[in-house]
Amino acid sequence: MASGLRLAFFFFFFLGLCCWGTSASSSRQQKLKVKNHLKRLNKPAIKTIESPDGDIIDCVHIRHQPAFDHPFLKDHKIQTRPSYHPGGGIYDEDKTGKAESEVRNERVTQLWHTNGKCPEDTIPIRRTKEEDVLRASSIKRYGKKHHKTVPQPPRSADPGLTNTGGHQHAIAFVDGEKYYGAKATINVWEPKVEDPNEFSLSQIWVLGGSFGGDLNSIEAGWQVSPDLYGDNNTRLFTYWTSDAYQATGCYNLLCSGFIQINGEIAMGASISPVSAYRNPQYDISILVWKDPSQGHWWMQFADGYVMGYWPSFLFTYLGDSASMIEWGGEIVNVGSQGQHTSTQMGSGHFPEEGFGKSSYFRNIQVVDGSNELKSPGRLGTFTERPGCYDVRTGTSGDWGHYFYYGGPGRNHKCP
Ligand SMILES: *[C@@H]1O[C@H](CO)[C@@H](O)[C@H](O)[C@H]1NC(C)=O
């Protein structure tokens, strides 16, 4: 009996040895690679909070965040606050809550707040799960944009776009000067995304250089991206690159670069509430600006959450100033079966429908050469296919420069 068992044991042992050599070993290697990547991304947590949407939020000591894996940041002294803020104050700024009476004053926050707070000296980081990495085309591409589909917004001089890799935009923009920041209050929706490989986002782009291989970009706003997050929730996000989305940069804190100082808001976490058609409207303000003394690019979310900064050394052109600012929406159209996708941009409704139905950016401003927030002047607009997604600008007393944007994708004007 015992020897039979031993025989069986050896049999399976050698069977095991023989077969690890082939496909099993490469899948084991893959597993190990994913595990190591997760270990690099997910820093040890001092406290962990489960969000109702399934996210896990790790409260990580501020000195242990991913930024400090960067060799240039080894001895970096964290700036605990910007030395300059274009709005004047920091924490009592933006009472532009002169919003229309219809806009709810209720604060837009993050879902995970219902289940706890991060302790002092820690920052909340959305934990990357194994399935998040496995959804990416490769471990290396996880958290990065696919550079074949660089959002290539138009220059005013050459509006004809060539290959956008299925990306479509409806944006307003300014160029022709040096810019030191940008601000807007962005209506928050949860657009329907038809295909898991598509996304729908609304954001500010702060761009430096021309649209060559060394384009610098800082981006912030909200997005729905099933590929990146595994669900259809509306999430706060940032992105940066200093080489047109090739080797540098990433979303949120998914690589070293951005230094977060805020202990209350997690990049990539869901924001709520979101607006609904003919129902209460919610919006978030986003400000990105360059600190004139340190040169770092700072970001502020909503009224007074100073999120942190991108150190100046990450960039080339943006080390000096931005040459173009854009505001608006972007979607990806994978367009299967020769039809346009029905992925929505903004609310999924066209600009002509107006407030409560179409999505908006309001109180659009730029930071000028004297580091003041000012009117952007004349806004250019661009959309590849106005029958799919459109944009319409305006000005008013309360809303300053604003625009409505977006659309439903597939419809009779967008077959
Ligand atoms: C996201 O939305 C798509 C399209 O509406 C749907 O097919 C899919 O099941 C949703 N995914 C999740 C995780 O809810």
pLDDT in tens, 97-153: 333 444 554 678 899 999 999 999 999 999 999 999 999 988 888 998 865 444 555
C-beta separation of 155 from 240 below 8 A = no
The pLDDT-based confidence of 232 (bands split at 50, 70, 90) is very high
Distance from the CA of 191 to the center of ligand 1, in angstroms? 11
pLDDT (mean) for 303-315: 94
pLDDT (mean) for 13-38: 72
Ligand 1 contact, 192 CB (< 6 A)? yes
Ligand 1 contact, 135 CB (< 6 A)? no
**pLDDT tens-digit series, residues 92-107:** 444 333 334 445 546 7
C-beta separation of 314 from 155 below 8 A = no
Ligand 1 contact, 231 CB (< 6 A)? yes
For residue 360, give the 3-state DSSP assignment: strand
Catalytic member of 93, 219, 264, 352 = 219
Residue 219 falls in the annotated catalytic set: yes
Upper half-sphere CA count for residue 166 (Cβ side, 13 Å): 19
Closest residue by CA, ligand 1 atom 11: 231
Question: Does 18 have pLDDT greater than 50?
Answer: no
Which residue in 182, 123, 88, 47 sits closest to 308, CA to CA? Answer: 123
Ligand 1 atom, smallest distance to 194 CA: 4
Ligand 1 contact, 53 CB (< 6 A)? no
Determine the pLDDT at residue 98: 34
Question: Does 389 have pLDDT greater than 60?
Answer: yes
pLDDT (mean) for 80-84: 93
Q: What is the dihedral of CA 62, 66, 67, 69, to 10 degrees?
A: 120
Q: Which two tokens stand for residue 219?
A: 């981006």
Residue 194 falls in the annotated catalytic set: no
Distance from the CA of 255 to the center of ligand 1, in angstroms? 27
Ligand 1 contact, 197 CB (< 6 A)? no
In terms of pLDDT, which residue wins out, 167 or 362? 362
Left, alpha or beta for 340 (phi > 0: left; psi -120 to 50: alpha)? beta
Q: Which two tokens stand for residue 134?
A: 């496995």
% of the chain exceeding 70 in pLDDT = 85
Question: Does 2 have pLDDT greater than 80?
Answer: no
